[in-house]
Amino acid sequence: MNRRRKVYEGKAKILYEGTEPGTLIQHFKDDATAFNAKKKDVIEGKGVLNNRISEHIFTNLNAIGVPTHFIRRINMREQLIREVEIIPLEVVVRNVAAGSLSQRLGLDEGTQLPRSIIEFYYKNDELNDPMVSEEHITAFGWAAPPEIDDIMSLAIRINDFMTGLFLGVGIRLVDFKIEFGRLYENDMVRIVLADEISPDSCRLWDIGSDEKLDKDRFRRDMGGLVEAYTEVARRLGIMSENEPIATRGPVLVK
């Protein structure tokens, strides 16, 4: 019974037309995918948790002056965001070796990197999101050199903020993926953080036990994903211990 116009549907989110011009509603689904959607499942409660965790991080980033598309959370699964032109890059920031970096360079997962590393991947499912360099990005016009500069300095600020945020609650921020967009305001264009930041797009390890509190639980068939995301939310002080994760709206009685 959704009368709003759907603008876009991705693997884990839907975008609807917003309430005012220049806005959109970002809806978090329970769908989980990995390996370019070759592995799929529905994990009840995931969307609610990601909406809340992403809201928390984006609100704090806005508060420290990192521009983002986030306006406000509307309900359990949705947030109002500014409409931006998405730059077709996945920007990955890494602090500790894991995942594809470990495989590519033969590094043991968990190896601290000499410094934080930023990587770019071209967002293209048909090509499996290939890694690209700044040369490719500028040559093919996906982003201009000053935009790459903005993206890199924002990525470093976001990493510094998030590393501290998670360290404070006993979590190691191993790596994460972010996306940026162009926000058109009057005659100005600026780069802002878009999409989401949640345990779907970060690697988060408990400092004491190295327990994974992120989507690797799904990728690696470990189970306990909702419990892990709930633990992240609880530690960040987002959900009170007793707050139920209401996963379904009211049921229409016909």
- Site of interaction with ligand UDP (CB under 6 A): 90, 92, 98-101, 129, 175-177, 201-203, 215
Shortest distance in whole angstroms from residue 170 CB to ligand UDP: 18
For tokens 């633990």, the residue is 231
Nearer to ligand UDP, 131 or 144 (CB): 131
Shortest distance in whole angstroms from residue 90 CB to ligand UDP: 6
Q: By the 8 A CB rule, do 233 and 171 touch? A: no
Shortest distance in whole angstroms from residue 234 CB to ligand UDP: 21
Shortest distance in whole angstroms from residue 224 CB to ligand UDP: 17
Closest CA to 109 of 168, 172, 154, 29: 172
For tokens 């996906």, the residue is 142
CA atoms of 53 and 60, how far apart (whole Å) = 11
Shortest distance in whole angstroms from residue 22 CB to ligand UDP: 26
Q: By the 8 A CB rule, do 222 and 203 touch? A: no
Nearer to ligand UDP, 19 or 36 (CB): 36
